[in-house]
Chain A
Amino acid sequence: MKFAFLVVSILSTVSLAKVAPSFQGELIGGGRVSLSEELAKDNSKGLLLCFWATWCAPCMQELKQVTEKLKNDPTLPLRVLTVNVDTAETSSDVKPTLKLYQFKIPVITDPKHEIFAKYQDAKTLPFSVLIKPNGEIAETFNGFHEEMFTKAREAMK
């Protein structure tokens, strides 16, 4: 009991830094990716981790706007990695949806929400996390925000 009290006391007084939890995942189209490998690829750019599902219409809008912005603005210090959270009910829609919307973005499948649960408790979508190359979470976004891009520039200054 004393030990439990000590643990609770410590946790009640120490703030925990916002670091991006580690994960590994399988990419659609083959290959595995881990957060640390992804961050190490280019330390001049932040990583936008976008969680989405095929049944989430605002997610489609967000992915469309993010991919168009990245395509049209090569100076933006940002890369994108997406995590699809469709469960068994709709997971057969994932690849057709990517083809239908003509998205050419890296997608990790997370049907058991192992990655999603590390980043969000409420499981609401769309949800995005801006991660600095050193692994710190610069910002999290519920829904699409234009300020994603300004925050990405600020984070990389």
Chain B
Amino acid sequence: MKSALAFLLLIGPFAYSASETVSLSESLPSRFKVTASDHLIFSNAKNDVDQTSSAEQLFLNEGKIRAEFGDWSGDIHFTNRYQPNPNLNTRPSITLEKKTLQFESKDWQLVLGDSHQELGRGIAVSLFNEPAFGIDTTLEGAAVKYRPEGFEFNLWGGRVNAISNPVAINPVDMRMKDRNVLMASSSMAVKLSSDSRLGGHYLMTVNQRKSDLDLDDRFQTAGLTFSQDNIYESIDLYTEANMMLSDKASKGQWIRRPLARANYASISWTEAPWKFKAELKDYSHFDFDFRKPPSMEEEVPLANVPNNFSDITAGKLYAEYLVLGNGSKGYSSMLYGRDRLENADLYHAVTGGKISLSSKSEIEMKIGYRAVLERSEITHGSVKGKLKTLPGQMAELELRKQFSRLQLNTSPSKEDRNSVYLTYSFSESWNVTGGLEFIPTNDAEIGRQFFNLGTSYRRGALATRAFVGDTSGGAQCAGGVCRQAPAYSGAMFEASYLF
């Protein structure tokens, strides 16, 4: 019985798309709506740890169903995972990952169940979803929002719920097998004028270890946010300040850690065709897991150097010139800071641009240099050319290079990453990409050349992607999140559909 149910859930998405005869909403009152989506991955690849092993099959599937009735809505999110292994008696597993009941009127929002929460710019806390890496962390509890004109009040509390079966190849593992994290927060924001807003927030977190109570932590964070647009002509300002008190359990007593702070400010001046922006971040002892603060360094994959979001002070200047007529643009940025985890100064300069040569072709270029003095150096660059060929068709060639010198103060190493990708788009819906990665600094056993071929087809609510070949892994970034992905050697197919 269980296996029959699992099989139905696995083939469910195909069963849905195969039947297009009955419209559920047409047979029910118009205030009742049902939507659903499904996302499926099939992979047949070598084990990412042992590349000499034979290929392993993996089926991953996630479904989301949403029902609405007037101001009420309910969501469920389930996943299926099946990894056949002849040596083990493996069976498909089905997990109900998230469930939400929500009431939303003009001024009120009430959520019972799972919801994504963030305070300010994700500096104090951010429970977010990044499907590329299989991250979906929510608050499982209750949240109330009251937002009449010019005012907003939020109150929420519950436990952190990370996804059990991430539907992604080599996901970032956020599961909290050995602990429970409880959070409660209140925040409010007041509109001071049509262009300015003042907010405040408070967050209390308890990190309960299941195995050893002596490893428990508790955190209290309070913060203020302020934004002001059009200070003088086209100048916009955003500032945020946070303080965090944290304690660590030890032998039945709480031991106070140093007071932590996390401050961020950005000021921009825009007068077309120019845009200037200055940013400042100042994070000190802010060691807290559930955050997604501005890094100010998303231009280059940085996963092969430590990401420091807890003890760093840095400022960045950015300037951009846009040719409004054809979309050509040029930009430069310079970041300087002090990385207190590395105990070294940090520099990062980037310059680039896009030139539209004609209505049919354009070239994009970017180069940059990042150095943590006497610790690491990264030089990165990319060139991308696009050429429209036949009506609706386009060829794209992208070359990338990243040369890194790492661990300069301990055991120096070099990494030279080069890649070429040629993509041909047969229409807006369908493209084929061939790629070659060349890493001459790799050990011969790992391999120095990696060939791959991929295709994607998107039409309406259907998105599919197929891939075959080898990739070297390495730094990958999406949605401001970076990770070190392992190598991949095999074939995969991915599809998602919104019903």
Contacts and interface: CB of A to CB of B under 8 A. Distances in A.
Interface in B37-92: 37, 39, 64-66, 68, 73
Contacts, number: 190
B213 to A, nearest CB: 33
B19 A13 contact: yes
Contact of A19 (B25, B106, B128, B229): B25
B194 A30 contact: yes
B327 A12 contact: no
A134 B9 CA distance: 32
A3 to B, nearest CB: 11
Interface stretch (B269-277, B282-290, B300-308): B269-277
B242 to A, nearest CB: 13
Task: Give the dominant DSSP class at B's interface.
Answer: mixed
A41 B492 CA distance: 45
B444 interface: no
Task: Identify the interface centre among B2, B23, B463, B498: most chain A CB within 10 Å of its CB.
Answer: B498
A134 B499 CA distance: 17
A89 B295 contact: yes
B37 A121 contact: yes
Interface in B416-434: 428-429
Contacts of B33: 19, 21-22, 135
B484 to A, nearest CB: 19
B26 interface: yes
B15 A112 contact: no
A44 interface: no
Contact of B123 (A57, A88, A101): A88
A139 B462 CA distance: 11
A22 B66 CA distance: 10
Interface stretch (B114-122, B157-165, B372-380, B467-475): B114-122
Nearest to B269: A96
Contact of A9 (B8, B34, B126): B8
Nearest to A111: B118
Given A8-B12, A87-B292, A90-B480, A122 B23 contact: no
B145 to A, nearest CB: 10
Give chain B's interface residue range (CB within 8 Å of chain A): 35 or more
A19 B35 contact: yes
Contacts of A137: 461
A40 to B, nearest CB: 13
Given A17-B24, A117-B129, A121-B37, A96 B498 contact: no
Contacts of B109: 24
B236 A96 contact: yes
A88 B292 contact: yes
Contacts of B113: none
Given A22-B33, A121-B37, A101 B324 contact: yes
Interface string A131-145: 000110101111111
Given A96-B234, A123-B132, A123-B479, 11 more contacts: A9-B8, A15-B24, A16-B25, A57-B354, A87-B479, A88-B122, A89-B292, A100-B322, A114-B116, A142-B458, A142-B463
Q: Which 9 A-B pairs have the closest CB atoms?
A: A89-B480, A88-B122, A88-B121, A92-B266, A17-B23, A142-B458, A99-B270, A12-B15, A96-B270
6 contacts: A11-B65, A12-B16, A99-B275, A102-B272, A120-B498, A134-B30
